[in-house]
């Protein structure tokens, strides 16, 4: 009997089940999409924050260089640096490059030359404003990139050739300027060449001064990573660059807070909108309830019936909403971050919980009204 009543009321001609279902589904879709996005935002924004450049430095342990070693074996072996870099989980590492500094003579005067790994450097410094173009490969020994101020003072343009000379080692080579860098920092006074070329010019084969890394980690996370790396490689000192890693954490905290509040606001209001629809739906069935009471249904049966109905609609709505919401989350993820949003199972119980609570609250008021209905008055048409 109960079952038949339930089916009848849900599919009967007077039921506006479609409307309630649609609004519940939309509500659940927004809830699940926002939850998915919120759970992903920390990692996504953290990747965006990598636009601020390197946040991690790996250098030989202080003092090693001075320990009686001749200047020709300055810095440390690149293999050790690479091994240390490789210990960072691949999905966390955005970019990395070793650095080798040295003084060289250009045509018009002395300059600081930096040997780097260009593909890595490009990911480390997405903020560089480059005139001309980047050097794409790590072993290019015919091209160089030069800082804006150094280029201006040496009267160099993109496409010009310049001789790099290291008197001490008696090495020289000619390179073409492929790009001019505007960084606003000390890089503006330096000339960048591929690491193997710098090593040859400076007579420091296989060595580098230190390495810079761009890692998806902020604040305490970066400190923990540094500690792990120092423990695994006792000959290096790994430290987060405070300016970047600390600020990343601070900014992420704010974004998280903002999103949490905005999401909470949206959830509450969506819930209330769903509520209104359900309230109207139950209220419309007052005459029917009156009739049931006249036929002998007690209050408990009526309450049970309304609640069962609401729950059933809610379940169907949530299933629909989850599917739509997953799609919506992907659209949002693509629109903002150009990336897919990970599906997290925790979203399902969460959405279901929120929707059920919303629907049941929505049902409470009209149910209270329904049990107070006097059958006679309803049947008379009042």
Partner 1 sequence: MFFHMLRQSFLEGRKRKILAAVTVALAATLITTLFTISLDVGDKMAREMKSYGSNIRVVPKSEAVPLRIGGVDYNPLKGRDYLDEADLPKMKDIFWRNNIVGLAPTLRTPVRLGEEKAVSLIGTYFDKPMPLPDDPDYRTGVRQTSGFWSVDGAWPQDDASDQALVGVTLAGRLGLTKGATVSVVDEATGTSRSFTVSGLLTTGGVEDDAVVVPLAVVQEMAGLAGKVAEVEISALTIPENELSTKARRDTEKLSTAEYDTWYCTAYVSSIAHQIEEAVVNASARPIWQVAAGEGAVIGKIQALLLVVGLAAFVSAAMGVSSMMNTTITERAREIGLMKALGAAGGEIYLLFLGEAVIVGGIGGLVGWGLGLGLAQGVGLMVFGSTVTIAWVSGPLVVLVSIAMALAGSALPARAITALMPVEVLHGRR
Residue 31 near residue 350 (C-beta atoms within 8 A):
yes
Interacting residue with partner 1 among 15, 32, 175, 209 (CB under 8 A): 209
Of 52 and 233, which CB lies nearer to partner 1 in the complex structure? 52
Non-local CB neighbours of 41 within 8 Å, separated by 6+ positions: 255, 256, 259
- CA gap 33, 325 in Å, rounded: 5
Interacting residue with partner 1 among 58, 85, 144, 183 (CB under 8 A): 183
Rounded least distance, CB 317 to partner 1, Å: 12
| Residue (of 97, 23, 101, 55) closest to 276 by Cα position | 23
Handedness of CA 245, 250, 256, 258 (dihedral sign): negative
Residue 347 near residue 324 (C-beta atoms within 8 A):
no
Interacting residue with partner 1 among 101, 134, 233, 326 (CB under 8 A): 101
- CA gap 298, 373 in Å, rounded: 12
Q: Considering only residues 70-99, where is the footprint of partner 1 by CB under 8 A?
A: none
259: part of which helix (H) or strand (E)?
Answer: helix 242-283
Q: Considering only residues 332-371, where is the footprint of partner 1 by CB under 8 A?
A: 332, 335-337
* Backbone dihedral angles phi then psi of residue 154, each to the nearest 5 degrees: -100, 5
Under rule CB under 8 A, residue 45 binds partner 1: yes
Under rule CB under 8 A, residue 241 binds partner 1: yes
Under rule CB under 8 A, residue 64 binds partner 1: no
Handedness of CA 342, 345, 347, 351 (dihedral sign): positive
Rounded least distance, CB 313 to partner 1, Å: 13
Under rule CB under 8 A, residue 257 binds partner 1: yes
Interacting residue with partner 1 among 2, 110, 163, 342 (CB under 8 A): 110
Interacting residue with partner 1 among 5, 9, 15, 26 (CB under 8 A): 26
Interacting residue with partner 1 among 138, 259, 315, 348 (CB under 8 A): 259
Given the structure tokens 């074996």, which residue do they identify? 73
Under rule CB under 8 A, residue 273 binds partner 1: yes
Q: Binding segment for partner 1 among 46-54, 169-177, 199-207, 340-348 (CB under 8 A)?
A: 46-54
Handedness of CA 103, 157, 178, 171 (dihedral sign): negative
Under rule CB under 8 A, residue 300 binds partner 1: no
Under rule CB under 8 A, residue 17 binds partner 1: no
- CA gap 29, 154 in Å, rounded: 61
Under rule CB under 8 A, residue 185 binds partner 1: yes
CA dist 245 to 220, 226, 236, 324, Å?
9, 12, 19, 37
Rounded least distance, CB 139 to partner 1, Å: 24
Interacting residue with partner 1 among 137, 168, 227, 266 (CB under 8 A): 266
Rounded least distance, CB 235 to partner 1, Å: 17
Under rule CB under 8 A, residue 27 binds partner 1: yes
- How many residues touch partner 1 under the rule CB under 8 A: the total is 84
Q: Binding segment for partner 1 among 271-279, 287-295, 302-310, 343-351 (CB under 8 A)?
A: 271-279
Under rule CB under 8 A, residue 42 binds partner 1: no
Under rule CB under 8 A, residue 149 binds partner 1: yes
Q: Binding segment for partner 1 among 136-144, 145-153, 295-303, 372-380 (CB under 8 A)?
A: 145-153
- CA gap 204, 202 in Å, rounded: 5
Of 99 and 297, which CB lies nearer to partner 1 in the complex structure? 99
- CA gap 16, 244 in Å, rounded: 56
Interacting residue with partner 1 among 169, 182, 221, 223 (CB under 8 A): 182
Non-local CB neighbours of 164 within 8 Å, separated by 6+ positions: 104, 105, 106, 113, 144, 172, 173, 174, 175, 191, 193, 201
Q: Binding segment for partner 1 among 78-86, 252-260, 289-297, 306-314 (CB under 8 A)?
A: 252-260
Under rule CB under 8 A, residue 53 binds partner 1: yes
CA dist 41 to 47, 218, 242, 252, Å?
10, 14, 22, 9
């Amino acid at each position: 009997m109960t079952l038949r009543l339930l089916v009848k009321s849900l599919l009967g001609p007077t039921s506006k089940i479609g409307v309630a279902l649609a609004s519940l589904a939309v509500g659940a879709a927004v809830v699940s999409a926002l939850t998915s996005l919120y759970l992903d935002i920390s990692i996504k924004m953290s990747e965006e924050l990598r636009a601020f450049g390197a946040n991690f430095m790996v250098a030989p342990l202080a003092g090693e260089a001075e320990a009686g070693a001749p200047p020709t074996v300055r810095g440390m072996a690149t293999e050790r640096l690479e091994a240390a870099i490789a210990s960072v989980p691949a999905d966390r590492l955005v970019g990395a490059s070793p650095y080798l500094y040295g003084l060289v003579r250009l045509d018009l005067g002395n300059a600081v030359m930096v040997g780097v790994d260009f593909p890595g450097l490009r990911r480390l410094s997405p903020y560089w404003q480059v005139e001309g173009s980047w050097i794409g490969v790590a072993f290019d020994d015919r091209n160089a990139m030069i800082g804006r101020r150094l280029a201006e003072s040496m009267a160099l343009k993109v496409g010009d050739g310049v001789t790099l000379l290291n008197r001490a080692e008696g090495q020289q080579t000619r390179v073409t300027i492929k790009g001019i860098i505007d960084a606003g920092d000390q890089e503006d006074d330096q000339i960048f060449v591929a690491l193997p070329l710098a090593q040859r010019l400076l007579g420091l084969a296989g060595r580098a001064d230190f390495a810079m890394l761009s890692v998806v980690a902020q604040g305490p996370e970066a400190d923990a990573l540094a500690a792990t790396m120092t423990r695994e490689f006792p000959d290096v000192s790994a430290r987060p660059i405070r300016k970047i890693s600390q600020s990343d954490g601070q900014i992420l905290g704010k974004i998280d807070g903002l999103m949490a509040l905005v999401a909470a606001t949206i959830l509450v209001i969506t819930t209330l909108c769903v509520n209104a629809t359900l309230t109207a739906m139950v209220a419309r069935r007052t005459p029917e309830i009156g009739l049931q009471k006249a036929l002998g249904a007690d209050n408990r049966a009526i309450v049970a019936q309304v609640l069962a109905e609401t729950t059933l609609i809610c379940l169907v709505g949530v299933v629909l909403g989850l599917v739509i919401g997953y799609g919506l989350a992907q659209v949002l993820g693509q629109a903002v971050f150009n990336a897919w949003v990970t599906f997290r199972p925790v979203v399902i119980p969460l959405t279901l919980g929120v929707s059920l609570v919303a629907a049941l609250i929505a049902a409470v008021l009209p149910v209270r009204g329904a049990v107070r209905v006097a059958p006679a008055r309803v049947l008379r048409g009042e």
